[in-house]
Homo-oligomer: A and B are copies of this chain.
Amino acid sequence: MTLRARHAIECAEVIVGYDTYLELIRDLLPGKTTIGTGMMQEVDRCQAAVEQAMDGKQVAVISSGDPGVYGMAGLVLELVAKYPLPVQPEVSVVPGISAVGAAASILGAPLMHDFAVISLSDLLTPWEVIQKRVEMAAAGDFVIAIYNPKSTRRTTQIETVREIVLQHRGAETPVGIVQHASRPKEKMTISTLDKFTSEHIDMFSLVIIGNSQTYVVDGKMVTPRGYQL
């Protein structure tokens, strides 16, 4: 957590967030009103936050990772924009450590060069669009970071990703998998492009596929920037 994020929470009268995330900042909550909801209730939760702010309250919507990367920042801005500009509450987006940045730091330094970030969740995006992005990222030799790689319901997409990237990169290309980055249950695995889908991957995992130059040294995944050493 950044000093700025902690300050924003400390200054707020109302804290809105997914129940699990409220639990993670329990120490900061005494004396504050909290509005917690379960997963998949993003619109209701952000709408409640906007209504509290319209009532004149200082409100913090909390999010894990960076609220500006697949997070709640966009939804809050879209909901606020439904009110006329003169009465809109002011919104500040406080950037955070993104899940991809946290996962990269645990694996070593895989993001030293150009990278693409893709979510495999097809709840709000057609699979054809996602697959095209995987193809383009693979063809462009981007390091590829995958959010939402697999869920109980959705298991085949990560296999398709593996097949697409194998058409462009060697079987031995390093692939890192991080679960619960920066949380007590944090776990990391470094595998290879041909084998990584046999590792445990779930909705708490972030997968980083190296580019053609990425290598593993002493258990760390490194994408060289190109310095002469």
Residue A1 at the chain B interface, CB threshold 8 Å: yes
Q: Which residues of B have CB within 8 Å of A116? A: 114-117, 137, 140, 142
- Please tell me how many copies of the chain the complex holds: 2
Contact among B78, B95, B111 with A104 in the assembled complex (CB-CB below 8 Å): B95
* Total interface residues in chain A, CB < 8 Å: 71
Residue A54 at the chain B interface, CB threshold 8 Å: no
How far, in Å, is A215 (CB) from chain B's closest CB?
Answer: 10
Residue of B nearest to A123 (CB): B226
Residue A171 at the chain B interface, CB threshold 8 Å: no
Chain A, residues 102-127, CB within 8 Å of chain B (1/0): the string is 10111011111111111100001100
Q: Which residues of B have CB within 8 Å of A85? A: 218
- Among the stretches A9-17, A23-31, A64-72, A183-191, the one at the interface with B is A64-72
How far, in Å, is A59 (CB) from chain B's closest CB?
Answer: 17
Residue A48 at the chain B interface, CB threshold 8 Å: no
Q: Are B124 and A114 in contact (CB under 8 A)?
A: no
Q: Are B142 and A133 in contact (CB under 8 A)?
A: yes
Q: Which residues of B have CB within 8 Å of A137? A: 116, 136-137, 140, 142
Contact among B80, B82, B96, B220 with A77 in the assembled complex (CB-CB below 8 Å): B220
Q: Which residues of B have CB within 8 Å of A104? A: 68-69, 93, 95
Q: Are A78 and B124 in contact (CB under 8 A)?
A: no
Q: Are B93 and A96 in contact (CB under 8 A)?
A: no
Residue of B nearest to A147 (CB): B114
How far, in Å, is A46 (CB) from chain B's closest CB?
Answer: 9
Contact among B1, B42, B77 with A222 in the assembled complex (CB-CB below 8 Å): B77
Q: How far is the CA of A60 from the CA of B218 in the complex (A)?
A: 20
- Given the interface pairs A3-B2, A229-B82, the reply to whether A114 lies near B105 with Cβ below 8 Å is no
A interface, CB within 8 angstroms of B: 1-3, 6, 42-43, 66, 68-71, 73-82, 85, 88, 91, 93-98, 101-102, 104-106, 108-119, 124-125, 129-130, 132-133, 135-137, 139-142, 217-218, 220, 222-229
22 contacts between A and B (CB under 8 A): A1-B2, A66-B101, A66-B111, A68-B101, A68-B104, A69-B104, A69-B111, A70-B111, A70-B112, A71-B109, A73-B109, A73-B112, A74-B109, A74-B224, A74-B225, A75-B225, A81-B217, A81-B220, A93-B104, A113-B119, A124-B225, A133-B141
